[in-house]
């Protein structure tokens, strides 16, 4: 049964990489846009941070799917 979970670390890593890429892209786009609009670098950096905070994580949560929750629930029920 231990072989059933061999893809979990790879899936988790892929999800983390996708989130990191989306955050970097959102920050870069927001920073560039703010700079073009005339904000100083500190202001543009604040806009970039705001863009990362406002990033919609729903697609990533949906991609992770209920399998993550089901696995954790199964572990909790089997441990007691």
Residues 6+ apart with CB under 8 A from 44: 30, 31, 34, 35
Read off the pTM. 0.68
The predicted-structure confidence for 2-43, as pLDDT tens digits, reads as follows 455 567 778 889 999 999 999 999 999 999 999 999 999 999
Residue 13 placed within a domain: no
The parent domain of residue 65 ranges over 20-75
Please give the tally of structural domains in the chain.
Answer: 1
Token match 């089901």: residue? Answer: 70
Q: Which of 43, 23, 22, 21 is nearest to 34 (CA)?
A: 43
| Cα-Cα-Cα-Cα dihedral sign, residues 75, 78, 79, 80 | positive
- Tracing tokens 């007691």 back to the chain, one arrives at 80
Examine residue 6 and state whether it is found in any structural domain, yes or no: no
pLDDT reported for residue 35: 98
| Residue 3 placed within a domain | no
């Amino acid at each position: 049964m231990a072989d059933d979970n061999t893809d979990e670390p790879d899936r988790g890593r892929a999800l983390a990489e996708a989130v990191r890429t989306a955050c970097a892209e959102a920050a870069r786009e927001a920073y560039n846009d703010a700079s073009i609009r005339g904000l100083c670098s500190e202001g543009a950096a604040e806009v970039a941070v705001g863009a990362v905070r406002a990033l919609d994580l729903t697609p990533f949560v949906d991609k992770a799917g209920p399998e993550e929750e089901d696995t954790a629930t199964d572990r909790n029920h089997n441990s007691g």
